[in-house]
Structure 1
Amino acid sequence: MNKMNYGCEGLCVVISGGTSGIGLAAALRFLADGARVYILGRSKERGAQALRYLEEQTGKQAVYISCDVTKQDECKAAVAKIAEQEGRPDWQLDILVNSAGFYREQRLEQLTEADFDAMMNVNVKGMMFLTQAALPYLRSKSSVVNIASDAAVSGNYGCALY
C-alpha cells in the first residue's frame, strides 16, 4: 500500500461501520498511517473478513468489536472495551469516525413507520449514541467525523426517506 503520512502515527481511531464501504476504506488509510484502529460492526463474520483484509493490505492489525450502534448499551460497552484494551487511565480517543449507515431507495408513498425507524436508528441515532459513549474519552484535540452522503446536497429520485 502506498504510504502517505497524514500525521496519524500512534493515534487511537474508532470507526463505526468499519467492516465495509467508506468505514473500511478509512480504517485502511488510518492503519497504513500508523494509527491504532478499532472497527465496529454488527457482523462478527464481516469483522473477521475486514481484519484479514486490513492485515493483508498493511501488514498491521486492527481490532474488531461487535457493536450495534442503534443500541445505547452496546455503544457504551464497545467504548468501555476499547478503554480497557488501551489500558491507560489517561487514554484519549483521538478520532471517532461515525460511518455506520445505510441507503435504501424507496418512494414516499411506500414508506412505513418501520422503514423510517430503521433508517433513523442507524443513520442518526447510532451516530448520537456512539458519540455520547465516547464523550468521556474525547479531548480538546480529538476529532469526530460524521460520514454523510452526497444525497445530502442533491437528493435522488425515489429516496424521500434517505
Structure 2
Amino acid sequence: MSARALDGKIALVTGASRGIGRGIAERLAQDGATVAIGYARDHEAATTVLDKIRADGGRAFLVHAPLGGHGDAARLWEAFDRAGREHAPDGRLDILVNNAGIGRSSALAELTEDEFDEVFAVNVRAPFFITQQALPRLRDGGRIINISSGVARIAMPEIIAYNATKGALDNFTLNLAAQLGPRGITANSVRPGIIDTDTNAPWLRGNPEAQARAAALSALGRVGEPADVADIVAFLATPDARWITGQTIDATGGSHL
C-alpha cells in the first residue's frame, strides 16, 4: 500500500458518533490517521463508526466523554489515555478537531440564562479547555481544526446564542494561530452551512419544500453533505496545508453571497 497523507498521525475528533463529526473521523482514518472517536452519549452510534473504520482497514478507538461541565476537558483526556494505550501510548497527538457542539438556541426574547450557559459551555468552554490541555500533547507541526458555522457571518436571530458561540470559536482560532505559529502548529476554523445530518433531519429530510429552500441558499444549488466538510478538514490536516493558519474556511457552498 502506498503511503497516505496522514499515516502515523493520531487524531481526536469530538462529537464523532454521527453527522459531520462522523464524516471527519472516517475521512481522516481513510487517509491513514489513527482516530480517537469522541462521543458524549450514543455508544451504539460511536461503535458503528468504529466498526466502519476498522472494516475499511483503518485504526480507531472510542473516547467516551460528555462535555459542558466543569472538569469535562480533563476527563476527556483521561478517557483518551485509557482507551488509547495501544494506539497512542505516550498520549501524544497530531490533529485535534473540535467538532462537538449544541446546534440550537432560542431567539433573544425566549432565551433563558440556563440555555445560554449550556450552549456556551459545550460550544466554547469545552473546546477552549480541551485545546488548552492538548497543547502539551500536541506535536510540533500539528493541526487544530475548529468546526464553526456559516452563521458566524450570516444573521439568524432565531438562534442568536448559537451564532455567538461560533463567532467566539472563530476568534479563539485566530488567537491560537498567533500563539502556536512558532511551533509550526496551524489553527483554522471551518464554517459549514446547512448539512444533511441527523440534527437537521426533522425539518429537512422528507420535506421537498424545505430541501428546495435550503438548496436555494447555496450558489451551488444543493444541500451540503458531511463529506463536503470532511474533505476540507482532511486537507487542512495534511502537510499540504502547512501555510494556512488563522483562517476561517467557508464551507457553505456559497450561501448568502
TM-score, with structure 1 as normaliser = 0.85
Q: Name 2:6's counterpart in structure 1.
A: 8
Larger radius of gyration: 2
Matched, 1:115 2:135: no
Q: Which residue of 1 aligns with 2:92?
A: 92
Which letter maps to 2:119?
Answer: M
Structure 1, residues 32-66: CA drift from partner, whole Å, max 9, x if none? 1110100111122332232233334x232411111
* Offset of residue 133 of structure 1: 2.0
Say whether 1:33 aligns with 2:28: no
SS at match of 2:140: coil
Answer yes or no: is 1:128 the counterpart of 2:141.
no
Q: Which residue of 2 aligns with 1:51?
A: 50
Return 5+ residue gaps in structure 2 as ranges. 163-257
Are residues 1:144 and 2:144 paired? yes
Hey, what does 1:63 align to over in structure 2? 61
Residues 1:53 and 1:77: Cα distance change in structure 2 (over 3 Å): same
Structure 2 letter corresponding to 1:12: I
Under a length normalisation based on structure 2, what TM-score does the superposition of the two structures give?
Answer: 0.55
- Which has the higher mean CA deviation after the structures are superposed, 130-139 or 7-16? 130-139
CA RMSD of aligned residues (A): 2.2
SS at match of 2:12: strand
Does residue 76 of the first structure (1) align with residue 74 of the second (2)? yes
Counterpart position of 1:20: 18
Aligned length: 156
How far, CA to CA, are the matches of 2:60 and 2:155 in structure 1? 35
For structure 1, which segment, 46-55 or 109-118, has the greater mean C-alpha deviation from structure 2 after superposition?
Answer: 46-55
Amino acid across the alignment from 1:115: E
SS at match of 1:136: coil
Which has the higher relative contact order, 1 or 2, with Cα contacts under 8 A spaced 6 or more apart? 1
